[in-house]
Amino acid sequence: MISNRSGMRVLTQLALTSVITLALPTAGEALPLPKTEKTVTEIPNAEQRSGGLWYIDALNIGSATSQGLRGRGVKIAVIDSGINLRAAELQGANITVHESTCLNQDTGEPFPADSTDAQISGHGTSVVAMLVGNGRAIDGGLGTVGIVPEAEIEFFATGPLVTPEQESRGWLPRCVTGKDEEGEYTGDSWKDSADAAMKSGASIVSASIGGSSLAFKDALLQAAARNIIVVGAVPNPGDDSIGAGTYPGAGNGSVAVNGVGRDGVILGKGTDLGGLQQWGADNVAVTAPAAWILAVGDDWNPVRRDGTSLATPLVAGSLALAQEKYPRATSNQLLQSLVRTTDGGTHPGIPPWNNKSGFGALSVSAMLAADPLTFPDENPLFVSSPSDPRCTASDRTEPPDSMDQCQWASAPTKQDVQKARAALNTAPRSELPGKARDNANQRVSEWVAGGLALALVVVAGVTSMLLLLRRRHRR
């Protein structure tokens, strides 16, 4: 969901340098990108690079830096096609790459998760750089600056998008993971990556990709049950960007991120990305910078790009900053803080919602200033009633009669989450997500510490009594 600032008509998520036409995606297939007309093919100069970092000031990341907040101690899982760990912007970052299960349907061999092939890793490299980029490009000049450079990144590779040319040669339109007894390809690497991310111990999952609910349904259910924050991209606008779904961003309770330009206007309105608002708008949560962003190009040189893919990690990273500052806050309280501090201020309650900017523009300084422990421990983005305005889709004038008609909120439902949580209650602590496990360990540590303290008091009391008796005996 990144759009290259080139003169080409870019339609795919990953192949930003070629023009192809996509069929409707199936489970685990990426959504195509919109067209773009503006031409900036040369490597940006120093002034242009500095301008491409406007998101730092727009989000007031300096307010976090001044408090020493850099994402330290927070684990973020990123789900994307692949990554290039040799990219200059990622040097020094704490990144663990999990191998892709996506198979090359010609050879049967898995695609590499860590690759210098931009078709595989260009998109994911730019996304991760928004989180932990060191600010240095391959030519030694200014590069992408990450907003949580000390965060721990768990990268789950889905494998590259299947192209129409490959489909014409008989490839299935998804990243397959194995063969059945008859030798036919089966599985879906997107599902594998999403499921694994929820078990990685990460408290925040960021996905700048979009597919159908089939690939993400189980993962979204586990995220809700385990209180893991899922941040996903709203599709870019564009007259050729038609897809079959935008999960995980469209999942119930997910943080769906829309993009804005430097002028604060939604992509497609203030930029040249077209004028359409697509699936995911019915549950968009917040907006974040997404236009003219300094990113990593397909030749690994710096480039300026547009897209909600770049806004998504900014929201994930901002939540990580809040978690670092308020480690005792629950994931639900962090989400409450996110929506209650939009547009630069703290709202007395949940602010009004609309299908373009959601609850408003992300504000890091306001979120860090508000103590999330004062907010309810409930996910404000989870829809459980048809009266919720997010159930009144753009093609409706009245709210639906039942949750069955609020279709995007069906993955997962409130009942599904309750069952999943009940199942987790019997799970060993090692299977709990990172934040829940840390809280459990903290409670055990506090109990042990309290017990030791009590024991020391008793020992001290007994010792004092013995000394007193000895003194009396000597007298």
**Contact partners, residue 53, CB within 8 Å, separation at least 6:** 142, 144, 145, 294
Question: Nearest to residue 253, comparing CAs of 154, 355, 331?
Answer: 331
371 & 465 share domain:
no
**Contact partners, residue 243, CB within 8 Å, separation at least 6:** 24, 25, 31, 32, 210, 235, 278, 279
155 & 189 share domain:
yes
313 & 397 share domain:
yes
| 248: preceding bond cis by omega (within 30 degrees) | yes
pLDDT confidence of residue 42: 81
Side chain identity, residue 468: L
328 & 253 share domain:
yes
User: Catalytic residue among 309, 337, 357, 363, which?
Assistant: 309
pLDDT confidence of residue 20: 22
Across 350-358, average pLDDT: 91
With cut-offs at 50, 70 and 90, classify the pLDDT of residue 244: very low
CA distances (Å), 23 to each of 34, 99, 105, 162, 412, in order?
Answer: 14, 27, 18, 10, 27
39 & 156 share domain:
yes
pLDDT confidence of residue 438: 53
Q: What is the CATH number of the domain that holds 101?
A: 3.40.50.200
Residue for token pair 């359409």: 276
pLDDT confidence of residue 259: 93
pLDDT confidence of residue 235: 83
**Lowest-confidence pick of 376-385, 399-408, 445-454:** 445-454
418 & 465 share domain:
no
Q: What is the pLDDT of residues 264-306, one digit of tens each?
A: 988 876 544 544 444 446 789 999 999 999 999 999 999 999 9
pLDDT confidence of residue 211: 82
pLDDT confidence of residue 269: 60
Residue 333 has which token pair? 């309280």
Q: In sequence order, what are the beta bridge partners of 186?
A: 178
375 & 242 share domain:
yes
pLDDT confidence of residue 25: 35
pLDDT confidence of residue 403: 87
Check pLDDT > 90 for residue 429: no
With cut-offs at 50, 70 and 90, classify the pLDDT of residue 11: very low
How many structural domains are present in the chain? 2
The answer to whether residue 192 is catalytic is: no
The mean of the pLDDT values for the chain is 82
**106 CA to centre of own chain:** 32
The answer to whether residue 438 is catalytic is: no
Helix (H) or strand (E) holding 153: strand 152-157
pLDDT confidence of residue 266: 87
Q: What percent of the chain has pLDDT over 90?
A: 64
**How far apart are the C-alpha atoms of 307 and 241, rounded to whole Å?**
13
Q: What percent of the chain has pLDDT over 70?
A: 76
- Name the more confident of 424 and 313: 313
Angle at CA 408, nearest 5°, toward 381 and 315?
40
pLDDT confidence of residue 391: 86
What is the residue-wise DSSP string for 58-120?
HTTTHHHHTTT-S-TT-EEEEEES-B-TTSGGGTT-EEEEEPP-PBPTTT-PBPPSB-S-HHH
234 & 332 share domain:
yes
pLDDT confidence of residue 39: 29
User: Catalytic residue among 80, 114, 188, 306, which?
Assistant: 80
- Name the more confident of 474 and 58: 58
pLDDT confidence of residue 267: 83
| 412: preceding bond cis by omega (within 30 degrees) | yes
Q: What is the pLDDT of residues 381-405, one digit of tens each?
A: 999 888 888 888 666 678 888 888 8
pLDDT confidence of residue 283: 87
Check pLDDT > 50 for residue 443: no
User: Catalytic residue among 123, 212, 213, 337, which?
Assistant: 123
pLDDT confidence of residue 17: 27
451 & 400 share domain:
no
354 & 452 share domain:
no
344 & 465 share domain:
no
The answer to whether residue 309 is catalytic is: yes
Contact 238, 35 (CB under 8 A): yes
pLDDT confidence of residue 289: 97
Residue-wise burial string across 47-78, b where 16 or more C-beta atoms lie within 10 A, e elsewhere: ebbeebbbbbebbbbebbeeeebbbeebbbbb
Q: Which domain holds residue 454?
A: 432-475
Q: What is the pLDDT of residues 148-180, one digit of tens each?
A: 999 999 999 999 999 999 999 999 999 999 999
pLDDT confidence of residue 75: 99
275 & 131 share domain:
yes
